[in-house]
Structure 1
Amino acid sequence: MTHQTQTPQLEMTRLERGARALADIDGSAGEAVVAALADIAPDFATLLLEFPFGDIYTRPGLGLREREVATIAALCAMGTAQPQLKVHIEAGLNVGLSREEITEILMQMAVYAGFPAALNGLFAAREVFDARDAEPA
């Protein structure tokens, strides 16, 4: 008797797990980042898929919502990663965070990262929210 099953997460390669996770989390924004690296650093695109998305995001222990809360907070606190912050604000929305929750996360950063970082994060969120509002239904 032949028994076929879907490939379990562990049997998938890091690259396959990462590509699937990136698509689920970041959608077209993540795909655009990978595509933008194709002509300058394709190996870096592979590393991006394998490590953060294939190894870290797919670990048990935290759900995607919690991982995006941490990522949004960290990128906001860094203050130097606006494009990545916007991608992860979008990802937060994709995995079920509300606009209000994202706004609160960014406001919380005023306490730990300072008002400039929180302001920049809030302005980035406004851009993402406005872009979503402008999309056809």
Structure 2
Amino acid sequence: MSRTAEPLSQAMALLDRLEPGAPAKVQTDLDAFSPGAAELVLGYAFAHIVGRDGIDLRTHEMLSVAMLVAMGTAPGQLEFHMRAAMNTGVAQEKIVGIVLQVSVYAGVPACMNAMAAAKKAFQAVEES
């Protein structure tokens, strides 16, 4: 990702690759909470971390899914990153595998919550 563009522009371009149409909604929601929140939150997360060289976008998304499953406290973000993972070429079977593997390390409740998120994400991708 180019380091010449401002972080928010970089973040929005990357976010649009993950889920077309997401940038406008996410920016509106964040900036309604606090003006400039989109630049602070998304600029850091997507332009400075996810957009870094060294790990491809598909792998970033699989890592995001695994960490969000383990956290067990961010169902909206988990569903988004499951859809984004599929939009970057991750097969549903791999997401199922990630969810099941996380159960060993983060527990069955986190796994079961992730199964519910996965069903919603899978359905959303199938309907799009």
Q: Matches of 2:15 and 2:102 in 1, distance apart?
A: 25
Q: Matches of 1:85 and 1:95 in 2, distance apart?
A: 15
Query: 1:120: which partner in 2?
Result: 113
2:78 pairs with 1:60: no
2:80 pairs with 1:87: yes
- The answer (yes or no) to whether the contact 1:29–1:87 under 8 Å persists in 2 is no
Q: Matches of 2:22 and 2:86 in 1, distance apart?
A: 12
- What secondary structure sits across from 2:110 in the alignment? helix
Could you tell me how far 1:30 is from its partner in structure 2? 4.6
Could you tell me how far 1:23 is from its partner in structure 2? 1.0
Per-residue CA deviation, residues 42-92 of structure 1 (Å, 9 max, x unaligned), is 322111221011111111110011101110000010010000000100110
Query: 1:41: which partner in 2?
Result: 34
Q: Structure 1 stretches of 5 or more lacking a match? A: 1-7
Q: Matches of 2:99 and 2:78 in 1, distance apart?
A: 11
Could you tell me how far 1:15 is from its partner in structure 2? 1.8
Q: Matches of 1:37 and 1:19 in 2, distance apart?
A: 13
Work out which of the residue numbers 5, 17, 21 in structure 2 matches 1:24: 17
2:103 pairs with 1:96: no
Identity of aligned residues (%): 34
Amino acid in the other structure paired with 1:49: L
Q: Structure 2 stretches of 5 or more lacking a match? A: none
Question: Measured at CA, do residues 30 and 72 of structure 1 come closer, stay the same or move farther in structure 2, by a change above 3 Å?
Answer: farther
Q: Matches of 1:118 and 1:12 in 2, distance apart?
A: 38
Amino acid in the other structure paired with 1:114: G
Question: Measured at CA, do residues 33 and 16 of structure 1 come closer, stay the same or move farther in structure 2, by a change above 3 Å?
Answer: closer
Q: Matches of 1:75 and 1:12 in 2, distance apart?
A: 29
Could you tell me how far 1:34 is from its partner in structure 2? 2.1
TM-score (norm 2): 0.91
- The answer (yes or no) to whether the contact 1:30–1:87 under 8 Å persists in 2 is no
Work out which of the residue numbers 92, 108, 111 in structure 1 matches 2:104: 111
Structure with higher Rg: it is 1
Q: Quick check: 78-87 or 27-36, which moved more?
A: 27-36
Q: Quick check: 100-109 or 10-19, which moved more?
A: 10-19
